Structure 1
Amino acid sequence: ADPILKTWMKAYPGTVSKTSEISGDLMSHLRYPEDLLKIQRLVLSRYHVTRADALFSGNDNWRVPNDPAQEDRSVFQPPYYLTLKMPGQEAPSFSLTTPFMPSGDRQVLSGFLAVDADAGSQAGTKADTYGTLRLLELPRDSNVKGPGQVQNDINSSNTSSPGFSTFPLSVYLNNNRQQGSRVTLGNLLTLPVG
């Protein structure tokens, strides 16, 4: 059992309930903790490899991308809650997700992690898949753009770039910026497609 949790239960009796005591209505509001996934992704960025030489050399290390929506480039991109279907799943599920990029300067995607974030709605019992981690690994030679590169393409409204010539957002941003409008962008979400 968790010693910190035991201490909280002693210090503040009645504030922490056992899973078996949680009603179905309350259970349906529980979500996988973002802070837990932040720690897990930092550990996974180094320890996702299965070969000892790769672990020792660090050549296959990953990193969490910087948040392209922030001016401060030292801020990591936060995990985002999305409803999506990962390979091996029969149906879409409410998940907490995060992308990975290779360590170094390459601005490409190297992995995508999703954890089932829905605790369910059954009293006293978490859903069977709650907390299940699913990892998509892209090949090392992948050229799938990472979040920062996609954000740069959108910001520059590079309509001559392949795939962006008919991209409505790029055209819209370019037109509005030329007319002097200030465009404020929101969060950039990474979605596994294809």
Structure 2
Amino acid sequence: SPQGEGEENVYTFYKGRGGVKLGWGFRRLAFMWRFAKLNVILSKYLQPESRVMYRRAVLDRIKALAPFLMFDKDPYIVIGKSGKLWWIVDAFTYSKRYPYSEPYPGPQPKPEAKYAPDWGLKNRFNYIRNSIQAMIDAYNGDVYFFIRDETDPMVQVYKRIFPGMLRPQSEIPDGLIDHGRFPDILTLILSRMYAIYHMRDPQVFYGQEDKWELPLELYYTKEKREMLPYYVTIKLPGEENVEFVNMMPFTPTAGKRNLIAWLVARCDAKYYGRLKAYILPKGKEIDGPEIIEDRIDQDPDMSKQLALWDQGGSSVIRGNVLTIPVEDTLFYVEPIYLQAKDAKRPELKQVVVAAGDRLAWGANFIQALNRIFVGQVVQRERRAEEEQPKLAWKDLVVTAKTSFENYKKLMGEGKIKEAAEALEQLNNALNALLQQAQTSPGGS
């Protein structure tokens, strides 16, 4: 960099329309009273045209404007097509007096659910919908409320009470409609209810014979906790394109830990808010996330290495167990981090990949994937010359690695469309590897 760059202070002036002019006289006295700061009237740096910015915290700002709505506690910031920064916050219409509806029961009172983010929502409502999104101009502070679901009867009521406040979805500015993210807290709420109300037969429902549960995982701590919904970019079974979804798997009750179903909430603008459930055949046993955690702990090499890392002031941090469907096979992926005693952030040490009865880990996803398939395709590679020409497993692994690196790079550059194409190439390489593994001797 040029000599001296970064060594001098750089000053700028706010040119936006946010805030309230300070002015003179009674207005300035009112601000002094409001903020309990004597400098408001004494400081020589404050001029009449100075602007006072308050309620700058995003949630405080929108709650003051719409106290009748419930808001997601996880606002997220995005870049619009113009390059401007926008905050997006999901808002919920809710009621505890909706006819013929059960109050939300919340999580079960058990140790595994003590970290659940919906603890404080028990019995707060019997009706909730993600019908509104708040979008805040991060520079000017302007707040807009847009309707994402016109069929919500409560939205129609609020439109009449506050005319002009709730705007139609067609007016969403700056390409922000493509940045929707279905709130994971609502996915969690819907998952708890769907775990019971997926039963359609009255007798089965009365006996709770087919009730589901949220699976357990070793996330972050050394004790098992309930899984929470997570975001992934995948190609759903039966769909043509890769899309961004919020996902939640299920396991049966009565101590069974196999995977029984999974629910996705779709986030892309075309399908925003639509739910899709994939229910697995009852006669086919597929390991659930908790079983994968146990298999990691029971693997001699992995357990030995984890115990070695978890010494001398360092601690092992287990990431989320991600369930990734590829055609008719489920992959499980779990990152493992190492947090040094004095380090400010954890370091990714290993990535575990499981597919069927195969389990492997490596320094990164591609290396673990390579180890999953290498033992299955070696014999097939020896017969490659006798068969029709096709990519060998090494070429497929290289293709998968290149596609994965391109995906990370393009996502970092904000090129969503190109990143989706790179992810599609990775998916095709995984499918080809899976096909080779299944048709090779010893393949499942």
TM-score normalised to structure 2 length: 0.35
Q: Which has the larger radius of gyration?
A: 2
Q: Sequence identity of aligned pairs in percent?
A: 27
Q: What corresponds to 1:147 in structure 2?
A: 289
On the 8 A contact 1:99/1:111 being kept in 2, the answer is yes
What's the secondary structure of 2:226's corresponding residue? coil
Q: Which has the higher contact order (CA 8 A, sep 6+)?
A: 1
Post-superposition offset of 1:187:
1.5
Q: What corresponds to 1:190 in structure 2?
A: 323
Amino acid at match of 2:182: Y
Q: Is 1:99 matched up with 2:249?
A: yes
Q: What corresponds to 1:178 in structure 2?
A: 308
Post-superposition offset of 1:63:
1.0
Q: Is 1:115 matched up with 2:265?
A: yes
Q: Is 1:19 matched up with 2:169?
A: yes
Q: Is 1:33 matched up with 2:166?
A: no
The 1:98–1:5 alpha-carbon spacing in structure 2 relative to 1, beyond 3 Å, is: farther
Q: What corresponds to 1:59 in structure 2?
A: 209
Supply the distance in 2 between the matched residues of 1:6 and 1:132 (Cα, whole angstroms): 23
Please give the root-mean-square deviation of Cα atoms over the aligned residues, in Å. 3.0
On the 8 A contact 2:220/2:319 being kept in 1, the answer is no
Q: What corresponds to 2:154 in structure 1?
A: 3
Post-superposition offset of 1:59:
0.8
Post-superposition offset of 1:94:
0.8
Higher-strand-fraction structure: 2
Post-superposition offset of 1:5:
8.2
Supply the distance in 2 between the matched residues of 1:146 and 1:191 (Cα, whole angstroms): 12
Post-superposition offset of 1:100:
0.3
What's the secondary structure of 1:177's corresponding residue? helix
**Deviation sequence 1:153-176 (CA, Å, 0-9, x none):** 22x2424xxxxxxxxxxx456335
Q: Is 1:132 matched up with 2:245?
A: no
Supply the distance in 1 between the matched residues of 2:306 and 2:210 (Cα, whole angstroms): 41
What's the secondary structure of 1:192's corresponding residue? strand
On the 8 A contact 1:67/1:78 being kept in 2, the answer is no
**Deviation sequence 1:66-99 (CA, Å, 0-9, x none):** 3431549685311011111222211221111000
Q: What corresponds to 2:299 in structure 1?
A: 158
The 1:157–1:90 alpha-carbon spacing in structure 2 relative to 1, beyond 3 Å, is: same
Q: Is 1:79 matched up with 2:229?
A: yes
On the 8 A contact 1:173/1:183 being kept in 2, the answer is no
Supply the distance in 2 between the matched residues of 1:36 and 1:176 (Cα, whole angstroms): 35
The 1:183–1:83 alpha-carbon spacing in structure 2 relative to 1, beyond 3 Å, is: same
Supply the distance in 2 between the matched residues of 1:95 and 1:72 (Cα, whole angstroms): 28
Q: Which runs of 5+ in 2 are unaligned?
A: 1-151, 330-444
Amino acid at match of 2:154: P
Supply the distance in 2 between the matched residues of 1:34 and 1:61 (Cα, whole angstroms): 22
Amino acid at match of 2:324: L
Higher-helix-fraction structure: 2
Supply the distance in 1 between the matched residues of 2:288 and 2:210 (Cα, whole angstroms): 16
Amino acid at match of 1:174: K
Amino acid at match of 2:168: K
Post-superposition offset of 1:37:
1.3
Amino acid at match of 2:299: N
On the 8 A contact 2:217/2:293 being kept in 1, the answer is no
Amino acid at match of 2:305: N
What's the secondary structure of 1:38's corresponding residue? helix
Q: Which runs of 5+ in 1 are unaligned?
A: 120-126, 160-170
On the 8 A contact 1:80/1:97 being kept in 2, the answer is yes
Supply the distance in 1 between the matched residues of 2:222 and 2:305 (Cα, whole angstroms): 27
Supply the distance in 1 between the matched residues of 2:303 and 2:224 (Cα, whole angstroms): 26
Supply the distance in 1 between the matched residues of 2:273 and 2:155 (Cα, whole angstroms): 20
